[in-house]
Amino acid sequence: MEANIHFPDPSKVREELIQKYPAKVAKKRAKSIIVNDPLIIPEVQANVRTVPGIITQRGCSYAGCKGVVLGPTRDIVNIVHGPIGCSFYAWLTRRNQTRTESLMDANYIPYCFSTDMQEENVVFGGEKKLKIAIQEAYDLFHPKSIAIFSTCPVGLIGDDVHAASKEMREKFGDCNVFGFSCEGYRGVSQSAGHHIANNGVFKHMVGRNNTPSVGKFKLNLLGEYNIGGDAFEIERIFEKVGITLVASFSGNSTVRAIENAHTADLNVILCHRSINYMGDMMETKYGIPWMKVNFVGAESTAKSLRKIAEYFGDEELKAKVEEVIAEETPRVKAVIDEILPRTTGKTAMLFVGGSRAHHYQDLFAELGMTTVAAGYEFAHRDDYEGRHVLPSIKIDADSKNIEELKVLPDPELFNPRKTEAELKALKEKGLEINGYEGMMKQMTRKSLVVDDLSHYESEKLIEIYKPDIFCAGIKEKYVVQKMGIPLKQLHSYDYGGPYTGFEGAVNFYKDIDRMVNNPVWKLIKAPWEKNGNGAGLAASYVTQ
Amino acid sequence: MLLRHTSKEVKEREGLTINPAKTCQPIGAMYAALGIHGCLPHSHGSQGCCSYHRSTLTRHYKEPVMAATSSFTEGASVFGGQANLLAAIETIFSVYDPDIIAVHSTCLSETIGDDLQQITRKAKDDGKVPEGKYVIFASTPSFIGSHVTGYANMVTGIATQFAVSTGVKKHQFNIIAGWMEPSDMREIKRLSKELGVKIVLFPDTSDVLDAPQTGKHEFYPKGGTTVAELQSAGDSISSLALGAISAEPAAIALEKSCKVAFETLDMPIGLSATDRFIMALSQVAGVKVPDEITAERGRLVDVMADMEQYLYGKRVALFGDPDQLLPLTEFLLDLNMKPVHIVSGTPGQRFEKQMRQLLDARSPETKFRNGLQADMFLLHQWMKNEPVDLLIGNTYGKYIARDEDVPFIRFGFPILDRIGHSYFPNVGYSGGLRLVEKLLNAVMDRQDRDALEEKFELVM
């Protein structure tokens, strides 16, 4: 497919983006800036070290582990072992919403816990202080679970958070204490932290509660963090359709649900980048297949629901799904029909996350807008090109440091939910079972794909393409807006949302319409600054 | 209840900090460096540090906050970060062309013992720093002090690495800004101009973090103290440091390196602290305070007198940073209000002593704690035991305010959910007026909300 809008020559754009870099940097960046062809899908360099000094969007491993994956859990006391900053910056800033059943239920999300490591702890070791902190947290709150997150100095001075956790877990008996070695320097981005988080949650939580879950169609929602209430909307739809959500990883989740997750019959994966490890490991150990879905976009939501119904292969469920889609669609259609004339033909750029830059292209397509350039902040090649490239991805020194858990089928609990033949048949029907096609297949020919976009490249791209909207995060928000282009934050949603499901699609359509058609962008120049206006030069009455 | 697990019973803690009233050094260093014209702050550590600091500053200002990072990986953490920093310096000068790179360290680079002085010197020796450009540095380990300490350390770095003493004094005065908002710095410049005193203000984030919308992103906005100004600071007659914790260390360093005498003042927040600032500046410069400033002062006192009944005896809990808390507490006392609980996560005996002195003289029963475990959890517990009429602090206070149903005034850093702080000053008499207006609005809105129908007042 080729977009019917005029693209600048993308190979020239590519040259221009790297021209100013020192030779070595230019050579490296060139491999991450790719002109797309959905039929061939060229290789994109991804998940490699960022060039120091280049001004990256990326964060660290700790952010991926504590911030992204464990941050949304509400009844775990998440203690950050390190100097105060790391815990402070991850305190409520990701907008993970949660809703307890009663005021008596545990909710630690509004709290920030830290060992506030001091110089003497760095010099003489911080394990003692950590254990005191864990004890104090236990005495104060009596939580079901306490998780410990290591920050940079912890790994360097050799504090053993796992030993400390084990000691305290055994001491308490009724509180599951476990640690994560997610020091900020591990890996090359947040992505390392996702993997570390997956390992820890899999090892220390999943499978601890074998109470059979109730329901005919039972699944887990993986990689949905309930930012802006996204998970609430998906929960609403599941309930309407009659699907039982056993556990969510990890938006609006509870310890009990995660510990019981292995009793579900399907894992659906939203954010492939941050949680695919969990899908794989649960399949190997418990025999639960996983399937890539997308609830961002009304059509994508409908499609994903149909895939889930197809997986369960139940006619009643299929009929119910159709009924719900038919019920929800008119409301969505009414809004998009009204908005579409104002957004059609406009262009978008998305440089964000490890899955969002893909998912949101569906919503822009529904708005009649073309994605002219996109890229991820911390994804891997499989998120761009599809999982079929996995065997050809070279494991470099930075990835090698992240533990790959050796998972075997559980002698008692392994129970393949589908036979190989059934899975094959489902795949043939187009279900992305244990698969993901990646972003590039969906993008137009000659669109630009850039991994780990630098600030410099973003300014250049905006100059060249002048997109109608740019999607990224808070660090980019006001930079891009200073250039007169609205920026939609796709981490925090500019404090709006939800953007999933039918409700979310409506919210997104309205937000984008508001942003790209906002009169403020035409008010930037003062009347006396506009071309041909002689204000201040010659008073008009003089010539009259 | 948002903070449903906060109990009334206070237990001493030694290991766990809950809801901190501080953050770490490097963010302060980044903020200070943004107050130098043409300067790109650089974080020597993991990418996360830089990302978190930029994000927090961006949320606080709703403005671009440009900064770079050394992007440490595990290899750099083992073998040292020199190669990363040298590469960063080369990339930054070729791509972003700043006049200055201001490098600060992090807990990571401090723990492995990277020596910023040595590495930045090597960058110069290796020809990685173009002619006429600068790389300065400050050591800002996150495991010592707080964000305020980091600010002070970077300002000290700026003072010592730029100021030169030519031996010929210039008829100008340094004003070293403690951690204040761009609006405050703008107000300090305005007041100095009113007084007719030539000053070098540093750092100065006005016209950097309150930049206008022009349709063009200025990577280096027009504001910020210039290199020439900073260099001339060594020839100034004297320095005024506004804030004992965040500004004085730079003044001390400047006295040492360039023999510029200094005086430390409280940040001019509220009437009395502003009086001291105006007096000090007029005295060192030998100028008469102009009538316009006296009139500004008069307007503030006038409002304080006219509206005193609404503020009298109101009980206040506050949390924040030392250099703001001291003059703010004094101002509350001048307004006949009652500071009841005060916490600051920033450690230090100097601050503790100063605050205790102020409180002993005017409000000995006030509960006050700073340093380790002096956090918002403790403050909230104190509030549950001895309730207050008003809470003052950064955005995180809104959770306590909502749970306890207490009026809340946003003051300090960070303010993530409102604007105004970068545009309207808290310093000077006009800043005092703004504070009084905020205090009155909070208290009087509450009175209006809670008044019985028959007691609802039209005129107040």
Of A49, A84, A185, the CB nearest to B24: A84
pLDDT of A540 over the 60 cut: no
- Which domains occur in chain B, in start order? 25-147 (3.40.50.1980), 173-294 (3.40.50.1980), 303-454 (3.40.50.1980)
Cis check: omega of the bond before A498, within 30 degrees of 0:
yes
- To the nearest whole Å, the CA of B430 is away from the closest chain A CA by 29
- To the nearest whole Å, the CA of B119 is away from the closest chain A CA by 15
Q: What values do phi and psi take at A366, rounded to 5?
A: -65, -30
Provide the token pair at A436.
Answer: 């993901």
Question: Is residue A60 within 8 angstroms of chain B, CB to CB?
Answer: yes
Does residue A118 lie in a domain region?
Answer: yes
Question: Is residue A112 within 8 angstroms of chain B, CB to CB?
Answer: yes
Neighbours of A210 (CB within 10 A): 11
pLDDT of A72 over the 90 cut: yes
Query: Residue B252, SS3?
Result: helix
DSSP letter string, B319-377: E--HHHHHHHHHHHHHTT-EEEEEEES---HHHHHHHHHHHHHH-TT-EEEESTT-SHH
The per-residue pLDDT for range B177-224, each reduced to its tens digit, is: 999 999 999 999 999 999 999 999 999 999 999 999 999 999 999 999
In the stretch 474-533 of chain A, residues with CB closer than 8 A to chain B read 474-475, 477-484, 524-525
Question: Is residue A401 within 8 angstroms of chain B, CB to CB?
Answer: yes
Do the Cβ atoms of A374 and A351 come closer than 8 Å? Answer: yes
Does residue A305 lie in a domain region?
Answer: no
How confident is the model at residue A518, as a pLDDT? 96
Strand pairing partners for A268?
A221, A291
Does residue A182 lie in a domain region?
Answer: yes
- To the nearest whole Å, the CA of A410 is away from the closest chain B CA by 34
Q: Which of B143, B218, B321, B404 to mutate to test the interface with A (most CBs of A within 10 A)?
A: B143
B63 → chain A, closest CA residue: A478
Catalytic sites of A, residue numbers: 60, 63, 94, 194
Q: Is the reported ipTM for this assembly greater than 0.95?
A: yes
% of chain B exceeding 70 in pLDDT? 100
Q: Which of A474, A495, A521, A525 to mutate to test the interface with B (most CBs of B within 10 A)?
A: A474
Sheet holding A347-351, edge to edge: A33-35, A448-450, A370-375, A347-351, A469-472, A487-489
Question: Is residue B1 within 8 angstroms of chain A, CB to CB?
Answer: yes
Question: Is residue B130 within 8 angstroms of chain A, CB to CB?
Answer: no
- Taking the C-alpha atoms of residue A504 and residue A328, their distance in angstroms, rounded to an integer, is 12
Do the Cβ atoms of B332 and B316 come closer than 8 Å? Answer: yes
Question: Is residue A399 within 8 angstroms of chain B, CB to CB?
Answer: no
DSSP-derived letter for residue A537 is T
Question: Is residue A139 within 8 angstroms of chain B, CB to CB?
Answer: yes
Of A25, A49, A135, the CB nearest to B73: A49
- To the nearest whole Å, the CA of B385 is away from the closest chain A CA by 17
Residues in contact with A449: Cβ distance below 8 Å, sequence separation at least 6, in sequence order: A33, A34, A35, A36, A44, A373, A374, A375, A384, A439, A440, A443
pLDDT of A139 over the 60 cut: yes
Average pLDDT for chain B: 98
How confident is the model at residue A401, as a pLDDT? 87
- To the nearest whole Å, the CA of A268 is away from the closest chain B CA by 29
The per-residue pLDDT for range A149-198, each reduced to its tens digit, is: 999 999 999 999 999 999 999 999 999 999 999 999 999 999 999 999 99
- To the nearest whole Å, the CA of B421 is away from the closest chain A CA by 17
Does residue A80 lie in a domain region?
Answer: yes
- Taking the C-alpha atoms of residue B226 and residue B35, their distance in angstroms, rounded to an integer, is 9
The gap from C-alpha A136 to its chain's centroid, in whole angstroms, comes to: 33
How confident is the model at residue A504, as a pLDDT? 98
Does residue A102 lie in a domain region?
Answer: yes
- Taking the C-alpha atoms of residue A357 and residue B162, their distance in angstroms, rounded to an integer, is 44
How confident is the model at residue A544, as a pLDDT? 42
Of B62, B63, B215, the CB nearest to A483: B215
Question: Is residue A137 within 8 angstroms of chain B, CB to CB?
Answer: yes
Identify the band that residue A533 occupies on the pLDDT scale cut at 50, 70 and 90: low
Q: Which of A75, A482, A531 to mutate to test the interface with B (most CBs of B within 10 A)?
A: A482
CB contact under 8 A, A185 and B15: no
DSSP-derived letter for residue A68 is I
In the stretch 131-170 of chain B, residues with CB closer than 8 A to chain A read 141-144, 146-147
CB contact under 8 A, B87 and A53: yes
Do the Cβ atoms of B142 and B25 come closer than 8 Å? Answer: yes
Q: What is the 3-state secondary structure (H, E, C) of A459-495?
A: HHHHHHHCCCEEEECHHHHHHHHHCCCCEEECCCHHH
Average pLDDT for chain A: 96
Residue with more model confidence, B306 or A4? B306
How confident is the model at residue A407, as a pLDDT? 98
- To the nearest whole Å, the CA of B235 is away from the closest chain A CA by 34
Distances A273 to A17, A249, A482 between C-alpha atoms, Å: 26, 13, 31
How confident is the model at residue A541, as a pLDDT? 55
The per-residue pLDDT for range A348-373, each reduced to its tens digit, is: 999 999 999 999 999 999 999 999 99
DSSP letter string, B44-109: ES-HHHHHHHHHHHHHHHSS----EE----HHHHHH-SHHHHHHHHHHHHHHT--SEEEEEE-HHH
Identify the band that residue A7 occupies on the pLDDT scale cut at 50, 70 and 90: confident
Identify the band that residue A3 occupies on the pLDDT scale cut at 50, 70 and 90: low
pLDDT of B374 over the 70 cut: yes
CB contact under 8 A, A482 and B142: no
Do the Cβ atoms of A222 and A249 come closer than 8 Å? Answer: yes
DSSP-derived letter for residue A436 is -
Provide the token pair at A438.
Answer: 């990646």
DSSP-derived letter for residue A223 is E
Do the Cβ atoms of B193 and B208 come closer than 8 Å? Answer: no
Neighbours of B453 (CB within 10 A): 5
Do the Cβ atoms of A79 and A70 come closer than 8 Å? Answer: no
Domain of A122?
Answer: 61-204
Residue with tokens 């007029």: B282
End-to-end CA separation in angstroms for chain A: 59
Sheet holding B367-370, edge to edge: B367-370, B338-344, B315-319, B390-393, B408-410
Does residue A221 lie in a domain region?
Answer: no
How many domains does the structure of chain A reveal? 1
The per-residue pLDDT for range B148-173, each reduced to its tens digit, is: 999 999 999 999 999 999 999 999 99
The CATH number given to whatever domain includes residue A148 is: 3.40.50.1980
DSSP-derived letter for residue A116 is -
DSSP letter string, A271-285: SHHHHHHHHHHHHHH
**Average confidence (pLDDT) over B91-113:** 98
- Give contacts of B216 with chain A, Cβ < 8 Å: 482-484
- Taking the C-alpha atoms of residue B94 and residue B88, their distance in angstroms, rounded to an integer, is 10
Do the Cβ atoms of B392 and B411 come closer than 8 Å? Answer: yes
CB contact under 8 A, B90 and A187: no
Identify the band that residue A543 occupies on the pLDDT scale cut at 50, 70 and 90: very low
pLDDT of A1 over the 50 cut: no
Neighbours of A528 (CB within 10 A): 10
End-to-end CA separation in angstroms for chain B: 33
How confident is the model at residue A537, as a pLDDT? 53
Distances B307 to B258, B268, B428, B444, B460 between C-alpha atoms, Å: 48, 22, 19, 11, 9
A79 → chain B, closest CA residue: B16
In the stretch 214-233 of chain B, residues with CB closer than 8 A to chain A read 214-218
Does residue A434 lie in a domain region?
Answer: no
Do the Cβ atoms of A193 and A68 come closer than 8 Å? Answer: yes
- Give contacts of B7 with chain A, Cβ < 8 Å: 140
CB contact under 8 A, B92 and A53: yes
Strand pairing partners for A348?
A371, A469
How confident is the model at residue A530, as a pLDDT? 84
- Give contacts of A20 with chain B, Cβ < 8 Å: 94-95
Do the Cβ atoms of A50 and A452 come closer than 8 Å? Answer: yes
CB pairs under 8 A between A and B: 268
DSSP letter string, B381-450: HHHHHS--SEEEESTTHHHHHHHHT--EEE-SS---S---TTTS-SBHHHHHHHHHHHHHHHHHHHHHHH
The per-residue pLDDT for range B298-336, each reduced to its tens digit, is: 999 999 999 999 999 999 999 999 999 999 999 999 999
How confident is the model at residue A531, as a pLDDT? 73
CB contact under 8 A, B42 and A21: no
Does residue A112 lie in a domain region?
Answer: yes
Of B11, B87, B216, the CB nearest to A52: B87
The per-residue pLDDT for range B122-154, each reduced to its tens digit, is: 999 999 999 999 999 999 999 999 999 999 999
Residue with tokens 């992103």: B217
Query: Residue B240, SS3?
Result: strand
- Taking the C-alpha atoms of residue A76 and residue A148, their distance in angstroms, rounded to an integer, is 10
Of A110, A130, A136, the CB nearest to B399: A110
pLDDT of A214 over the 60 cut: yes
**Average confidence (pLDDT) over A308-324:** 98
Identify the band that residue A534 occupies on the pLDDT scale cut at 50, 70 and 90: low
